[in-house]
Amino acid sequence: MSELKLTAKDFKSDQEVRWCPGCGDYAILAALQSFMPELGVPKEKIVFVSGIGCAARFPYYMQTYGMHSIHGRAPAIATGLAVTRRDLSVWVVSGDGDALSIGGNHLIHALRRNVNIKILLFNNRIYGLTKGQYSPTSDQGKVTGSTPLGSVDYPFNPLSVALGAGATFVARALDVDRPGLTDVLRRTAAHRGAAFVEIFQNCNIYNDGEFDYIREDKDARTYLEHGKPFGETGIVHDETDLATAFALSQVTWEKDGAIPLGVFRDVQRDSYDELVQAQLDNAAGAADLQALVGSGDTWSIA
Amino acid sequence: MAKPVEQLESVVIRFAGDSGDGMQLTGGRFTSETALSGNDLATFPDFPAEIRAPAGSLPGVSGFQLHFADHDILTPGDRPDVLVAMNPAALKANLRDLPKGGTIIVDTDAFNDRNLKKAGYDASPLEDGTLGDYQVHAVPLTSMTVGALKEVEGVTAREAERAKNMFALGLMSWLYGRPVESTLDFLRAKFAKRPELVEANVKAFNTGYHFGETSEAFAVQYEVKPAKLPPGLYRQITGNTALSYGLIAAARLSRLPLFLGAYPITPASSILEELAKHKAFGVRTFQAEDEIAAAGAALGASFGGALGVTTSAGPGVVLKSETVGLAVTLELPLVIVDVQRAGPSTGMPTKPEQGDLLMVLFGRNSESPVPVIAPSTPGDCFYAAIEAARVAIRYRTPVYLLSDAYLANGAEPWRIPDVSSLEPIHAGFAEADGDAPFLPYKRDPETLARPWAIPGTPRLEHRIGGLEKANETGNVSYDPDNHDLMTQLRAQKVAGIEVPPVEVDHQEGADVLVLSWGGTYGPVHAGVRRIRAGGRAVAHAHLRWLNPFPSNLGDLLHSYERVLVPEMNLGQLLQLIRARYLVDAVGYNRVTGKPFKASEIEAAVEALL
């Protein structure tokens, strides 16, 4: 077989990209299209599945197979695909509302089962497509169209949720940080099982500046390194230790003056499709349809 | 000395007891013995949703009715001839169904003050004349069972007492001359890990059998000769088992892997459990986190080229409608099984109804047509499942398969099909046509189906989604005329699905047509037979396809003076045919949570003659 020679251009669909000018999604799309050739996987073996929201338009722009489905359901749909088609590279693109609000149930169960899918959660901490209501990751007190006096909700920490759900791979990246994002994507793609990546993404229309502390200041971007302490926290990173990953997931810019980027957790565990396939492979008995329909007590009528 | 044997043409027996008394098992075993006797039969398991309602209480009564005969029959019987009541509550809950002169077999040991009080009896009905009009066999079932098992080692008092259902089964098996070997084999297999329980249950069964033989309480033994059914090899089957086999057969016929997404729900769970057994056939069952994920995963599997199926009952199906709508616009195969049960919301989970027809037809946003097929008998669930899959695959569409709790749990003899005679299903995945651009919504001119291009196929990479698509290219489109066109095309595709013509069972001189659908076939046709047996003419047509309707339906309806539509709902098919064909049909509508009785159908037809 000849070696695949694909370029970023091969992954661009013929559809005009229709995010707002200046949206962080453009940077993520460009990073992914540039990274995809490195995967060495033929385009037809790659599938992007999304739900609803700004981020969910992502599959339309990728020259791969894709499905823009319904709000929150992408992990469920991707589960059915990944367990029946183990030969595919299945990616889910989601947002904070899609993944953590309406689709929260599907997200935690896909992670719990360790389904072989890569989940990219574009977290802009706002509802963009519906014009600026607060999201489950918005800060308490957030003033939006639906919360004129400020939100009273306590927000989710997406990484802590993923870790709590038993995710085997958890990472964080930043939309405009091309090298950091690409490193994380590389690790994500290499992980067999459910991979969860939170990507800080700026919504320049409804929540502009949310991540400026690291978007605007490259020097403020601090990366996790396995076996090394993170910043001033004193936490020595261990990608295989759940408690460490959880502690690091709770580190915030506001509280700690630094926010970790990179891989929080990476452990190997049999993936859902592998376990299902093993049961099929080990199933006893012949697949004899005539014997099946004629099983049990039978009698003849002449 | 052998007792005299009396010939009967048919018998209806109802076993009734506490939910924990093993009545479903007892009825099921008696059914197996009866099937092996070559009788035609129909069963109606009728049990509460509560797994173990308070012992001895009326809500906890579980029943199993079996009708068997020396001729072909259609229903589990309107009223039992024989009632086996394991306690006062079982007697009280079922007595009103028993015609005067009927036979009652009771466990006298259960008729103590405590149980009588729980059932609401002030005095024992065995002693106060309540049962004067019946033939009562008062048998101390429990104490005789416990007595017989005294010498079986390793069996607790509770276990010995629990074997009383096998005593009852043994007694009934003697009374109707049933072959017993299959039950003894069953007990040996069921309790294989505890030989002492094998011994106890076999002993209880045999003791009951011998009690019948020797006790003066039973003067005669009955015989029901084998029925003359079409020749072939038979087994008994329930609707949910047949439906599961049908799905496996459809996967085999289409050479697609079967993927089931399901969330446990009564009365559909046994399909999930049945399919989970058949991994050797490559069946993947996914017990999802919820009904929505179950449907979503099935659709994802279909996108990847599997036969995606999701199963549920009404309260779960409502949650799936969002996904079904997506499948409508994605135009991908998907089979959605709705095993209908009674009532809005949770309703009566174990009881049948036909209340979901309008929901599956119209319960989605906007114009989202979905074909609907409803099996007519437990055995027909096999063929209906294959047909549903065939249409889903051929036309690239979700299809509703509308069963019900009566079909799901009811058993009947089933002539085992020759699977090599089943017609293959052509999946026909799209392949790249040279360098021509791929058009995911370019339709087959005959079926209007779009190509099914599965991931992994080189050069057919494409994106589909819930947004409206431009004709042919499938690109997102907000063009007004395109939306109108796509809406029309989706409607035309479903309207144009080829379904067989509806067959009418006409009778010379009939000017009344009875039009039924789905699981009511048995009782409705039994009612029709009664009218005919009375020398009156009536025609009967039974619908399996509810969308689209068979093309000859309109003409058929207009060829009769009056049309009666019996339904276990408030007139859903009735409303459809009145609107569609401008026919002045009338309904017969009852929603009791029990299947129709032949007698009520007879009366409803009678009123129109």
Give the tokens for residue B435: 């360098």
Confidence label for B584 from pLDDT (cuts 50, 70 and 90): very high
Residue from the list A73, A105, A295 with its beta carbon closest to the beta carbon of B323: A73
Residue-by-residue pLDDT tens, chain A, 302 positions? 456 789 999 999 999 999 999 999 999 999 999 999 999 999 999 999 999 999 999 999 999 999 999 999 999 999 999 999 999 999 999 999 999 999 999 999 999 999 999 999 999 999 999 999 999 999 999 999 999 999 999 999 999 999 999 999 999 999 999 999 999 999 999 999 999 999 999 999 999 999 999 999 999 999 999 999 999 999 999 999 999 999 999 999 999 999 999 999 999 999 999 999 999 999 988 899 999 999 998 998 88
Compute the distance between CA of residue A211 and CA of residue B413 in angstroms, rounded to an integer.
Answer: 69
A1 interface with B at CB cutoff 8 Å? no
Please choose, from the candidates A66, A46, A44, the residue with its C-alpha nearest in 3D space to the C-alpha of residue A185. A46
Compute CA distances B21 → B52, B126, B353, B433, whole Å: 10, 21, 27, 65
Mean pLDDT, residues B290-313 taken together: 98
Minimum mean pLDDT among A273-282, B18-27, B45-54, B317-326: which range?
B45-54
Confidence of residue B48 (pLDDT cuts 50, 70, 90): confident
Radius of gyration, CA atoms only, chain B: 27
In chain B, what residues touch A297 (CB-CB under 8 Å)? 32, 35-36, 182, 235-236
Within an 8 Å CB–CB cutoff, is residue A47 touching chain B?
yes
- Tokens 């996967």 found at: B251
CB proximity under 8 Å: A 62-101 to B: 62-70, 73, 76-85, 87-88
Mean pLDDT of B199-218: 95
Query: Which candidate, B364, B357, B397, places its Cα nearest to that of B494?
Result: B397
The kind and range of the H/E element at B286 are strand B284-287
pLDDT for the residue numbered B516: 98
Residue type, B260: L
> Rounded to whole angstroms, how far apart are CA atoms A75 and A93?
9
Q: Which residue has the tokens 């403020």?
A: A220
CA nearest B465 in A: which residue? A68
Residue B233, classified by CB atoms within 10 Å of its CB into exposed (0-12), middle (13-18) or buried (19+), is: middle
How much is the pLDDT for B215?
Answer: 92
The C-alpha atoms of residue B76 and residue B79 are separated, in whole angstroms, by 9
Give the residue-averaged pLDDT of B473-481.
97
Question: Which of A15, A84, A106 comes nearest B284 by C-beta?
Answer: A84
- Give the pLDDT score at B83: 97
* pLDDT (0 to 100) of residue B54: 87
Chain A to chain B, count of Cβ pairs less than 8 Å apart?
A: 195
Q: What is the SS3 assignment for A176? A: coil
pLDDT for residue B1 = 57
Q: What is the pTM (predicted TM-score) of this model? A: 0.95
Q: Is the pLDDT of residue B410 over 70?
A: yes
Mean of the pLDDT values across residues B236-263?
98
Asked if the ipTM is above 0.90, the reply is: yes
CB B211 within 8 A of CB B381: no
Q: How far apart are CA B128 and CA B487, in angstroms?
A: 70
Nearest to B461 among A65, A79, A297 (CB): A65
Residue A280 and residue B279: Cβ atoms within 8 Å? yes
pLDDT of residue A1: 43
What one-letter code names the amino acid at A268? Q
Q: How many CB atoms within 10 Å of residue A56? A: 27
| HSE value, Cβ hemisphere, 13 Å, CA-based, for B228 | 0
Out of A42, A62, A67, name the one closest to residue B465 (CB).
A67
A21: Cβ contacts below 8 Å, ≥ 6 apart: none
**Distance in angstroms (rounded) separating the CA atoms of residues B190 and B187:** 5
3-state SS, residue B51: coil
Cα(B557)–Cα(B502) distance, integer angstroms: 11
Structural contact between residues B563 and B40, judged by C-beta atoms closer than 8 angstroms: no
Lookup: tokens for B528: 């029709």
Long-range contacts of A208-212 (CB under 8 A, 24+ apart): A210/A124, A210/A125, A210/A126, A211/A174, A211/A175
| Separation of alpha carbons B595 and B40, rounded Å | 19
**Does residue B226 have a pLDDT over 60?**
yes
Cross-chain Cβ contact A293/B459 below 8 Å: no
DSSP state letters, B365-423:
SSS----EE--SSTTHHHHHHHHHHHHHHHHT-EEEEEEEHHHHH-EEEEEPP-GGGSP
Return the bridge partners of B547, or none: B372
Beta strands in A114-237 (DSSP E): 118-123, 169-174, 195-200, 222-223, 229-230, 235-236
User: In what side-by-side order are the strands of the sheet with B284-287?
Assistant: B284-287, B258-262, B307-312, B334-340, B398-404, B372-373, B545-547
A300–B contact, CB cutoff 8 A: yes
Calpha distance A292→B252 (Å, rounded)? 12
A33 reaches B (C-beta below 8 A): no
State the pLDDT at residue B53: 81
B485 min Cα distance to partner chain A (Å): 21
**Alpha-carbon span B591 to B596, nearest angstrom:** 9
Mutate to test the interface with A, among B238, B248, B303 (most CBs of A within 10 A): B303
End-to-end CA distance of chain B: 53
Q: Are the C-beta atoms of B180 and B186 separated by less than 8 Å?
A: no
Q: Which residue has the tokens 């659908």?
A: B517
Side-chain-side CA neighbours of A115 within 13 Å: the count stands at 30
* CA pseudo-torsion sign B349, B353, B355, B360: positive
Percentage of chain B lying above the pLDDT 90 cut: 96
Residue from A54, A293, A298 whose CB has the most chain B CBs within 10 Å, to mutate: A293
Per residue in B133-160, pLDDT (tens digit) is 999 999 999 999 999 999 999 999 999 9
- Check: CB of residue B522 under 8 Å from CB of residue B74: yes
Q: Is A299 on the interface with B (CB under 8 A)?
A: yes
What are the structure tokens assigned to B417, written together? 């099909």
Contact B591, B568 (CB under 8 A): yes
B186 CB-contact burial (10 Å; exposed 0-12 / middle 13-18 / buried 19+) = middle
Contact predicate A91/A46, CB 8 Å: yes
> Rounded mean pLDDT of B275-298?
98
Mean pLDDT within B508-535: 97
Tokens of B114: 């405590």
Kind and range of the H or E run holding B337: strand B334-340
